[in-house]
Structure 1
């Protein structure tokens, strides 16, 4: 059955193309390529790294600010693209991005990576040298995926980044990572799950790149401590914020439910993203608790946050179950459709695939820009855009393309993706 939707104000007067099946590898591969094409004309800065700020039409609106998270996510994007499609330009882009991480973001004096810099005429000026575990997690992810793409110089950086995190942020007593430090490495008292979640993602990638069990062991430990031990303190769900002793901080950012990295409230997207990571962990370590816990987290997110009126998942809900942020974020939808597909494949239960289709129908109608490509970042409750700033620092469409790659590699019937790639190459 063809799945179509009526455009609304987010997509303006642009027709929403019909899709025969969102489960088709051809559809997913085409969508990744369309997204890459959005960035392709303007993304590369020959003087170093990539541009980080794009309007809806692909024009760059800030040419000098560079954020560590975007710099890392671009490496992931182009390493994955090279592995999937084999275009040597993507491999060179990944190498180009790696050089920028070491040449621009790295602070040799303090032995840390700068969070935000100004890059002008090939020269760096540090804007924010705060040391974030979240940033190091994405460095570990970038180096791991670059290594899997065959970039030899990335391999030693996997171990070096893990050791830096071990030295500066690992809290052995808690079995979790601290969150941030000053430029001189004075660690703050704030503790958060978000850095630990993305560290788990990166540790799983490091294991895939190296086969070293130290990364898998650590991924299992962090995952169990967040999704089991810590979740028991917060109604069985993953809360975002904690005190230095890892007791729940129910009030951190209570007036800021839309904070980009530290929002208040339960995050539906983080419940489903953790569910995805638990299923990835299960591939390498089939522990009996992983699948049931993944299902619980996914089901809780859908029960609390699906908008029955306008479609899509809300951004956040409070401890009493009341939605605290009604906006729709691109990454929440993307991570959730990936998890739905993985659960559908793992369990054989069609209800998860039904959610996959439903989330895609919504996202295809409202989030995907059918004129210029890629996804809008944030929509209102009733699916209107806030601005024409499609891709500010931190976005890069890493979540959307990554979700498609995950479905292609691990949720579709065996051989389906390979057959689709072969057919495309034969054209």
Structure 2
């Protein structure tokens, strides 16, 4: 049996002593507002462009810490610094991050001038949870209103997330992606306090159906990344694509919804799918979970398919630990141990704090950056926070 008490201390210390101090020291832009997140291994800035979804993620993370970390060894000064930094990021997003009608850009320059149009729906979804979580922290009704209104825009765009920036030719092979219904499973619970009950429950049921009954394919025993509009498999590069990390992450979202709805059978099913995804995606030669796979074993268009990414593994830690916590499934616990051993021996930087994001297939560091266009103050601290809290709860259970 694992020593849950010792593991809880390990995850807590990594979060509070090494990861968050890295972002607090290097990320906050005190000159122009918002956050600098293109950071090298030692925290030095290698680019000053600001990606809006990363801004939203950092606002959310700082607000979440403020709202949930209440321990004697975390000072009120530290919590106040988290909140001040969250407000700084939110004000930058509020004034610079969108076009005035809450259409959130994808990228800005350091001063906040738009660089890339609001084509990416995830700029919106992370703004939703950022302002929603900060509204909880501050009681600021303006933040709550921004969250609600942006969520309405997200829901209005589900049939065509990229809008007029969609590159597909008219009448071309029409596909829909797993990423949006997946993230909406999480977003809906994040802003539960801002939504009417009936609306929330209808949204949740729609998301569960899409994830568990549409994108999960019983004939494969796996979740696919893309389907045709009429929910069929497509024998194309996009249609054959699998992303084990996405599927595994989605399962802890589903477990949370199963708790919220008191549906233990949904949690059990999510556990079994997560285990199947981990077994399918695990690199049996070098360890770690592949980034992308093809369900027919054909060559992939993603040249990074065999890399080992930080978020895939930290999300797997959350999912497997949550699965064990909620069901007692020992397969989940064994997977948590396997991935824990891989993560702590490959991704952690003992010298500078934060984690590496990109390893090659053999598990060697491929890029030394700690933050960039795709990696920021989100997956690592969120995962450490979740695992710390679950491990503490497990440690407190009677033997």
Q: Same fold (TM over 0.5)?
A: yes
Identify the structure with the greater helix proportion: 2
Q: 1:385 to 1:410 in 2, by over 3 A?
A: closer
Contact 1:200/1:219 (<8 A) preserved:
yes
- The within-5 A match list for 1:140-289 is 140-152=128-140, 153-167=142-156, 169-171=157-159, 178-182=160-164, 190-207=175-192, 212-232=197-217, 235-253=220-238, 265-287=241-263, 289=265
Say whether 1:401 aligns with 2:392.
no
Q: What is the rounded CA distance, in whole Å, between the counterparts of 1:329 and 1:225 in structure 2?
A: 26
Aligned position for 1:91: 83
| SS state at 1:41 partner | helix
Distance in 2, Cα, partners of 1:353 & 1:318? 27
The answer to whether the Cα contact below 8 Å between 1:144 and 1:202 also exists between their aligned partners in 2 is no
Give the corresponding residue for 1:76. 60
**1:386 aligns to what SS in structure 2?**
strand
Report the Cα distance in structure 1 between the residues aligned to 2:196 and 2:348, rounded to whole angstroms.
Answer: 36
What SS does the aligned partner of 2:109 have?
Answer: strand
Residues 235-284 of structure 1 show CA distances to partners (whole Å, capped at 9, x for unaligned) of: 24221123444444442558xxxxxxxxx721111121111011000111
Counterpart selection for 1:293 from 247, 269, 275: 269
> After TM superposition, where is structure 1 displaced by more than 4 Å over at least 4 residues in a row?
20-23, 186-190, 208-211, 321-324, 414-417
CA distance in 1, matches of 2:332, 2:322: 8
Cα deviation, residue 312, structure 1: 1.6
Question: What's the CA shift for 1:378?
Answer: 0.9
Task: Structure 1 unaligned segments of length 5 or more: list them.
Answer: 4-19, 172-177, 255-263, 418-427
State how 1:8-27 maps to structure 2 within 5 Å.
Answer: 24-27=7-10
* 2:103 matched residue in structure 1: 112
- Give the C-alpha shift of residue 389 in structure 1: 2.1
Matched, 1:355 2:335: yes
Residues 1:288 and 1:77: Cα distance change in structure 2 (over 3 Å): closer
SS at match of 1:389: coil
Aligned residues of 2:62 and 2:86 also touching (Cα < 8 A) = yes
CA contact (8 A) 1:179 1:190 kept: no
CA distance in 2, matches of 1:35, 1:331: 15
Aligned to 1:373, which of 353, 360, 378?
353
Structure 1 residues 397, 69: closer, same or farther in 2, change over 3 A?
same
Please tell me whether the aligned partners of residues 23 and 377 of structure 2 are also in contact (alpha carbons under 8 angstroms): no
SS of residue paired to 1:131: coil
| Distance change (3 Å), C-alpha of 1:234 and 1:134 | farther
State the shift of 1:132 in Å: 2.3
CA offset at residue 79 of structure 1? 0.8
Count of aligned positions: 378
Q: Distance in 2 between matches of 1:197 and 1:187?
A: 26
User: Is the 2:4–2:392 contact (alpha carbons within 8 Å) kept by the matching residues of 1?
Assistant: no
Q: Aligned-pair distance for 1:62?
A: 0.5
- Aligned match of 2:33: 48
User: Is the CA contact 1:138–1:198 (under 8 Å) kept in the aligned structure 2?
Assistant: no
* d(CA) in 2 for partners of 1:406, 1:209: 23
Contact 1:344 1:411 (8 Å CA) reproduced: no
Q: What is the CA distance between 1:287 and its match in structure 2?
A: 2.9
Task: Give the C-alpha shift of residue 291 in structure 1.
Answer: 2.0
